[in-house]
Amino acid sequence: MSHAVHPVPEHFSARIGPDELAKLRRFADEDPDGFWLEQARRLDWSRFPTRTGEWSFGQADFHIRWYEDGQLNLSVNCLDRHLATRGDRPALIFEPDQPGAGRAWTYRELTQETCRFANLLRRQGIGRGDRVMIYMPMIPEAAAAMLACARIGAVHSVVFGGFSPESLAGRIDDCGARAVITADQGVRGGKVIPLKANVDAALAMSSGIETVIVVTRTGADVPMHDGRDISYSAVRDSLEIEAEPEAMDAEDPLFILYTSGSTGKPKGLVHTVGGYSVWAATTFDWIFGAEDSDVFWCTADIGWITGHSYVVYGPLLNGATSVMFDGVPNYPDFGRLWETCDRLGVTIFYTAPTAIRALMREGEAPVKAHSRQSIRLLGTVGEPINPEAWEWYYHVVGDGRCPIVDTWWQTETGGILISPFPGATDLKPGSATLPLPGVRTVLVDSEHQELHGAASGNLCLAASWPAQARTIWGDDDRFFQTYFSAYPGMYFTADGCRRDEDGYHWITGRVDDVINVSGHRIGTAEVESALVEHKSVAEAAVVPVPHDIKGQAIHAFVTLNAGTEGDDGLKAELNAEVRKHIGALAIPEHIQFAPALPKTRSGKIMRRILRKIAEGELSSLGDTSTLADPGVVDQLVAGRSG
Ligand code: PRX
């Protein structure tokens, strides 16, 4: 464990220093309503709210509402209100797979493009409350599509382009979407992603989609279905560049984003207009504090919550310049990120630990080949960062000049909840440091006791915050059961956490059946049900194993039907099964054929033991005497290398 403490670098300039932060914390504690209304003042409301947070996490009276009597439009806040002062400044800088082949979109251009999309959606009969899927590459039109939905009050659901047609179909059916916005193809790392073909395949498996809008990215000749598919480039010039924004109630749904949990199919988390917007604006300003001269680059895809909050909404709400990157860190070579930082003059750079570890393995040369002098602040998100990777990021990438903000949050939290303030917080490598003002973290033990002082336990939140997810689309009960039943009166994050003597938080990872592979959340149950779809598979159990670069990887134990032999051919078929049902991102690192799985006498699979076997921790398997057949363990240990 690293015990280094890095104070705020002497020359780092920030609006919020230690005194301002202490004042903010006092404000939040002493006058919560005043504090939350103050944050709401960051936005333009057509009706300013008089109310702030009203919630109960108890089952009888469960509700979460923020700024309920307020009215606003998110796209107006991201776009129109900046036009007078920033119309010609870049809102988005598009950086495609091919270095330097992109261009910047000004606030005016983005506003006009958003209005065109809004008018097209309206022309297709889409309006307030309708659900629209977005399945697109990281191109500015994708941001315009999201903003267009926000403008007309439609609810967007962005699906990462790496998900399979079947995953997309499941999400379409789950939320009852009426339209899909996609592109002909994507290109990443030199490889083509057949987005439109995937949409066609998804629509053959789902129902309800009346309109498919296809943006031209590569210009490939993709099949178009008459009466359903519209080529955006063919109609673009006929669309007006102004569109009346819908006045939305603060608690109207803004978007649905699907994420994996312990059980069953992905959950469509619902975020609402008012609270989400306030928190995206507030946290972006607090943590990144971008000024007009800054160029902010968050490498996340818009298919994840990080892309929603810190590629699109947070930066645009603050009138900042945000880079949209449609490439990968190792294409054309391992210097790509730093070459791009130099070329675009990136000042704030935000990425995932997995990318840092992958680059670290390539050594310092690809980093040192580029100047990186423009960078003044670094950030990480998505998974715990090991102190070694933190130090490398700090010293090699940042030349010891730039603070690192390790930001902890979740799809469910909508925005950052635990993070340093770069101008005010001493850093400890590997710690996300302290909860933000107004955020009340609590650690609890398995006996439901709240822990005080330095302690390790399960991380919960004792109070709501504006961007808290409101429900799971169509399943209020599942929402309550998943997050509020384990520790009554609190939101349970499903993360473990250690709090040290300074109150610093050290996230230790998920305590549920979610595997964090390269910062992507994958549910064990989803992978298991994909594997058992194969005709030769009798049973499957999936556990995480530590991985040097990905953080965690998937280890699958697979029991075959009698008479079937496991071999490499079958492993390839099983991988294909996972790719088909979920997407390539969920393909197991290891598949181990197992004669049987360790089960209790009541038939429950003992995952704790499987995890130890997968990790090779054979000396600490624990008590195996409760197993129905303890001999199974020896067979699995013997088969581990196989
Ligand atoms: O386990 C935590 C981990 O990522 C989970 C949330 O994943 P997702 O909803 O996909 O959102 C990722 C981007 C916000 C959390 O439950 N996680 C996220 N950030 C950190 C983290 N673990 C440790 N440190 C972080 N900074």
Q: What are 320's two structure tokens?
A: 């900042």
Task: Find the 409 Cα to ligand 1 centroid distance in Å.
Answer: 5
pLDDT in tens, 456-491: 999 999 999 999 999 999 999 999 999 999 999 999
Start-to-end CA distance of the chain, whole Å, equals: 33
* Count of other CB atoms within 10 angstroms of residue 486: 17
390 marked ligand binding residue: no
Q: Which of 158, 259, 383 to mutate to test the pocket of ligand 1 (most atoms within 8 A of CB)?
A: 383
151 marked ligand binding residue: no
Q: How confident is the model at residue 2 (pLDDT cuts 50, 70, 90)?
A: low
8 A C-beta contact, residue 173 and residue 204: no
User: Which protein residue has the closest C-alpha to ligand 1 atom 8?
Assistant: 410
- Quote the distance between the C-alpha of residue 92 and its chain's center: 19
Query: 605 vs 253, 391, 497, 541, CA distance in Å?
Result: 39, 39, 26, 8
CA distance 417 to 273: 18
| Antiparallel, parallel or unpaired: β 267-272 and 253-259 | antiparallel
Beta strands in 241-363 (DSSP E): 248-249, 253-259, 267-272, 296-298, 322-325, 348-351
Locate the ligand 1 atom nearest the alpha carbon of residue 520 and give its number: 10
Higher pLDDT, 641 or 609: 609
**DSSP symbols for 465-509:** -TT---EETT-HHHHHHHHHSSSTTSEEEEEEEEE-TT--EEEEE
Q: Which of 267, 350, 380, 507 to mutate to test the pocket of ligand 1 (most atoms within 8 A of CB)?
A: 507
Query: 181 vs 164, 176, 209, CA distance in Å?
Result: 16, 15, 11
Helix axes 631-639, 607-615, angle to 10 degrees: 30
Counting residues of the chain whose pLDDT is more than 90, the rounded percentage is 93
8 A C-beta contact, residue 296 and residue 321: yes
8 A C-beta contact, residue 559 and residue 595: yes
CA distance 477 to 494: 18
Locate the ligand 1 atom nearest the alpha carbon of residue 493 and give its number: 16
Q: What are 489's two structure tokens?
A: 């009166």
8 A C-beta contact, residue 394 and residue 318: no
637 sits in which H/E element: helix 631-639
Locate the ligand 1 atom nearest the alpha carbon of residue 521 and give its number: 10
* Count of other CB atoms within 10 angstroms of residue 550: 22
Q: How confident is the model at residue 301 (pLDDT cuts 50, 70, 90)?
A: very high
Q: How confident is the model at residue 641 (pLDDT cuts 50, 70, 90)?
A: low
Q: Where are the alpha helices (DSSP H) in 194-325?
A: 195-204, 232-235, 273-283, 305-307, 314-317
Mean pLDDT confidence for 311-323: 98
Residues found in the chain? 642
CA distance 266 to 175: 12
Task: Find the 416 Cα to ligand 1 centroid distance in Å.
Answer: 10
521 marked ligand binding residue: yes
User: Which protein residue has the closest C-alpha to ligand 1 atom 22?
Assistant: 383
The pLDDT of residue 158: 98
- The DSSP 8-state label assigned to residue 518 in this structure reads T
282 marked ligand binding residue: no
Task: Find the 471 Cα to ligand 1 centroid distance in Å.
Answer: 19
Sequence-ordered list of residues with C-beta below 8 angstroms from that of 641, at least 6 positions apart, any chain: none
The pLDDT of residue 163: 97
The pLDDT of residue 628: 85
167 three-class SS:
helix
User: Which protein residue has the closest C-alpha to ligand 1 atom 12?
Assistant: 382
Q: What are 266's two structure tokens?
A: 């992905």
Sequence-ordered list of residues with C-beta below 8 angstroms from that of 186, at least 6 positions apart, any chain: 136, 137, 161, 192, 193, 195, 217, 326
| Exposure on the CB side of residue 517, measured as CA atoms within 13 A | 22
Higher pLDDT, 397 or 2: 397
pLDDT in tens, 222-241: 999 999 999 999 999 999 99
Mean pLDDT confidence for 527-554: 96
CA distance 226 to 249: 36
Average pLDDT, the chain: 96
410 marked ligand binding residue: yes
CA distance 519 to 552: 9
Mean pLDDT confidence for 497-511: 97
Locate the ligand 1 atom nearest the alpha carbon of residue 514 and give its number: 1
276's torsion region: left (phi>0), alpha (psi -120 to 50) or beta? alpha
User: Which protein residue has the closest C-alpha to ligand 1 atom 26?
Assistant: 408
Mean pLDDT confidence for 344-363: 97
CA distance 288 to 307: 15
The pLDDT of residue 407: 98
Mean pLDDT confidence for 1-25: 90
CA distance 377 to 154: 35
Lowest mean per-residue pLDDT among 233-247, 269-283, 308-322, 618-632 = 618-632
pLDDT in tens, 66-87: 999 999 999 999 999 999 999 9
Residues with CB under 6 A from ligand 1: 259, 304-306, 381-384, 406-411, 432, 493, 495, 507, 509-510, 516, 521
ipTM here: 1.00
The pLDDT of residue 622: 83
Q: Which of 503, 508, 479 is nearest to 491 (CA)?
A: 479
Q: How confident is the model at residue 619 (pLDDT cuts 50, 70, 90)?
A: confident
Q: Which of 433, 425, 403, 426 is nearest to 12 (CA)?
A: 403
536 marked ligand binding residue: no
pLDDT in tens, 142-198: 999 999 999 999 999 999 999 999 999 999 999 999 999 999 999 999 999 999 999
Determine the Cα angle at 76 with ends 73 and 79, to 5°: 150
